[in-house]
Amino acid sequence: MSVLLVDPFSSGSHYHGLLRDRGLTYHCVRTRRALDSGLADGATVPHLAVDDATVDDLGALVQFSREHGVGTVVTGAESGVPVAEALKVELGLASPDFGEHGRRFWDKDLLYSTLRDAGVRVPRRFGVLTAGDVAAGRDRDVLAGIDHPAVTKPDVGAGSVGVRIVDDAAGAADAVRSIVSAAGFFGGTVPAAIVQEYVRGREYVVDTVSHRGRHHVIAVCTYDKHPSSTGAMVYDRIRWLDGDAPDTTRLTAYAGQVLTALDHREGSVHMEVILDDRGPCLIDFGVRPHGAGHPVKTHALTGSSQLHAEVDIAAGAGLPDTPGYILTAPAAIEFRSLDRPGTVRTDARPEELLDRDFVRGGSIAARPGASYPETQSLLDSEALGLVFVDSVDDASLLENAARLRADFAAMVDPA
C-alpha cells in the first residue's frame, strides 16, 4: 500500500522526511488552490505525480490511486482539503453519508450548520452575504439587526485572512464588502461573507488525529492575542497546555463531540475553540495538521505530533492506546508582529533573536531595510518570524516572551 500526499506545504512539507524514514512509498499531488494562494510557489515537489489538481480531476485521481495501491490519503495544508476529502470518500476512507464529498470540512457555513443541527455549540449566525446580496442592498437589513461586536469572515479561507471583529453596522458593511469584492485566499470563486456572533473568552487550539473513527488528542494550546487597528485579531503567541490540565480535559471532550457530529474518520484536524462561562464553542476548523511547523515543536515537547501519528498509521501502527499526551516543559511560539507599518533598521540583526538562551528554535523572515505593513493575520506574522521558546515555569515563560517582543520592537522604526 502507498500514501497519497496532497499539498505537502506549510507543516505538510515535513511529511517527506518522515515517510522516507519509515520506508513508505508515496506520491504527491499539488492543487491549483495551493498555487493560487501562494502556499506553493511552483518549486519542485518530490514525488510529484499530479500537478494543478482540482476537484474536477477527481476521476483521474481515483484511477491513479487505485493503480498505485493508495491506502492512505494525507493532507499537508488547508489548500488540499477539498481534493483530499473528496478522494477519501471515493476510496472508502471517509464517510459518504453527507453526500457532499467532504464539503462540510471546508465550507464554513456548512460546517457550522452541520454542527448546529447535531446540537454542538457554534457561534450564532446572523447572516451569509454574497456579492449579489451587497449589490442589491440586501446586506443593509441583515446588518442593521445584528448584535455588536460581531465577527465577519469569508466562508472559505485560511490563516485568519479576512476575519474581522466589527463594532457597528458601518464597520460590518465595510468588512462584508471587502470579503465579497475579490477572489478569496485560494483564488477562484469570490467568497461569501459570514456574519456571526462574537464569542468572548480565551481561544484554544485542539489538534487531533483520527483513524477508523477513533480520535486521539495530540496537543491542546491556547492563544494570547490583541486586536489590530482594523479589528483583525493579531496573535502574540501560542502556548502548550499540560495534558492533564482542567481546560484540556473539557476541550478534549468537546473535540470528540465535534468530530463525531461531522463523522470524521481519518486524518488530522486542527480546531480553534473559545472557552467562556457557557463552555466550549468552535470558531474554526481545518482537516489538516496545525500549520507553520507547529507539529515539529509539539514532537519536541511530547514525543509525538499529528505528522508522526499519521505516518505511524500509514505504516500500520494505528493510534496510541493511551489517551492524551505528556508535556515535558512550558513552551510557546512567539509571533513577530507590528502594531503599525514599520521598517527594520538597516543596522538591526533580527536573526539574533534566535540566539537567546531561552530560544529553542524558529525562523526570522524580517530583513534589515525592509518595510512591513501593520500585522493583520498569521500570514503577516509568518512574514516577520516565529520564535520557539521554553522555560522552567509559566511565569518565566511570559517574562522571556516579553523580552523577545521588546527586543524586536527596538529593531523597527515605525512609519
What CATH number should be reported for the domain holding residue 35? 3.40.50
What pLDDT is recorded for position 184? 85
What is the pLDDT at residue 158?
Answer: 77
DSSP state letters, 225-291: EEE-TTS-EEEEEEEE--TTSHHHHHHHHHHHHHHHHHT--SEEEEEEEEEETTEEEEEEEESS--S
Question: Residues 176-190: what's their mean pLDDT?
Answer: 89
Strand order in the sheet with 412-414: 371-372, 342-344, 412-414
Q: Which domain holds residue 208?
A: 202-414
Contact 151, 123 (CB under 8 A): yes
- With contact defined as beta carbons under 8 Å apart, do 282 and 120 qualify? yes
Whether 358 maps to a domain, the answer reads: yes
> Does residue 114 form part of some domain?
no
For 284, the grid coordinates are 474554526
- On whether both 79 and 179 belong to a single domain, the answer is no
**155/150 Cα distance (integer angstroms):** 15
The pLDDT assigned to 189 comes to: 85
Cell of 141: 437589513
CB 274, CB 283: distance < 8 Å? yes
Report the DSSP pairing between strands 193-197 and 331-335.
Answer: unpaired
* Residues 260 and 283 occupy one common structural domain: yes
Read off the DSSP letter of residue 364. Answer: E
Final residue of a structural domain among 105, 137, 162: 105
Whether pLDDT at 231 is above 80: no
Per-residue pLDDT of 300-343, as tens digits, reads: 999 999 999 999 999 999 898 889 999 999 999 999 999 999 99
Query: Once rounded to an integer, what is the mean pLDDT over residues 271-287?
Result: 97
- Same domain? For 9 and 93 the reply is yes
The whole model's pTM is what?
Answer: 0.91
Residue 378 pLDDT level (bands cut at 50, 70, 90): confident
Tens of pLDDT, residue by residue over 78-130, are: 999 999 999 999 999 999 999 999 999 999 999 999 999 999 999 999 999 99
CATH code for position 135: 3.30.1490.20
Query: What would the pLDDT profile of 144-159 be if each residue is shown by its tens digit?
Result: 989 999 999 999 987 6
Mean pLDDT throughout 380-387?
93
Least confident of 56-70, 254-268, 271-285, 370-384: 370-384
